């Protein structure tokens, strides 16, 4: 039953995402004749789409050289490079986006963004980071501040 499915996905937090995806799909069909927009401005005109999602679509779908900045990526930048935002919502800080743009490689940026997202979730985790197996531990400010070798 559709109501039963709605209740199940609501429990795990997917109902809102499903509703948002439906609205986005309707906008893409009605406003963009069924084609996913290829500009940041058009992507951000879609319901619930901000800088992170628009850049993710541009990077991963259209192979555009743009940084991906979310909470996890910001954690890596903060730990490795000691770059911090003073904003309560750091992912909205233009300075953080500028930094991400600065360190984004000129080539292989799609792979870099995928690797950065994976690295943030698998190694440089919010809780219990795996510093001992980290491939960039030699340059990591966070590791040095913790007194690890």
> How does pLDDT run across 67-121, given as a tens digit for each residue?
999 999 999 999 999 998 888 888 888 999 999 999 999 999 999 999 999 999 9
Strands annotated E in 11-133: none
Distance CA 29, CA 17 (A): 18
What's the pTM? Answer: 0.84
- Average model confidence (pLDDT) across the chain: 90
Second-level CATH architecture of 2-60: Orthogonal Bundle (1.10)
Q: What's the CATH class of domain 71-145?
A: mainly alpha
Question: C-alpha distances in angstroms, 120 versus 17, 77, 100, 131?
Answer: 23, 10, 14, 12
Which part of the chain has CATH 1.10.1670.10?
71-145
Which part of the chain has CATH 1.10.340.30?
2-60
pLDDT at 133: 95
Of 65, 72, 36, 70, the C-alpha closest to 53 is: 70
Residue 10, helix vs strand vs coil = helix
pLDDT at 29: 97
Q: Evaluate whether 75 touches 120 at the Cβ level (below 8 Å).
A: yes
- Cβ neighbours of residue 124 under 8 Å, at least 6 residues apart? 72, 75, 76, 79, 80, 130, 134
């Amino acid at each position: 039953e559709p109501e039963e499915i709605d209740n199940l996905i609501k429990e795990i937090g997917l109902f809102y995402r499903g509703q948002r995806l439906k609205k986005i799909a309707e906008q893409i069909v009605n406003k963009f004749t069924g084609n996913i927009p290829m500009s940041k401005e058009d992507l951000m005109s879609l319901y619930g789409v901000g800088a992170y999602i628009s850049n993710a679509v541009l990077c991963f779908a259209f192979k555009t050289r743009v940084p991906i900045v979310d909470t996890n990526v910001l954690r890596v930048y903060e730990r490795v490079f000691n770059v911090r935002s003073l904003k309560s919502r750091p992912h909205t800080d233009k300075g953080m986006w500028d930094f991400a743009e600065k360190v984004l490689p000129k080539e292989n940026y799609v792979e870099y963004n995928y690797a950065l997202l994976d690295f943030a979730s698998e190694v440089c985790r919010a809780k219990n980071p795996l510093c001992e197996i980290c491939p960039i531990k030699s340059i990591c400010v966070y590791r040095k501040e913790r007194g690890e070798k």
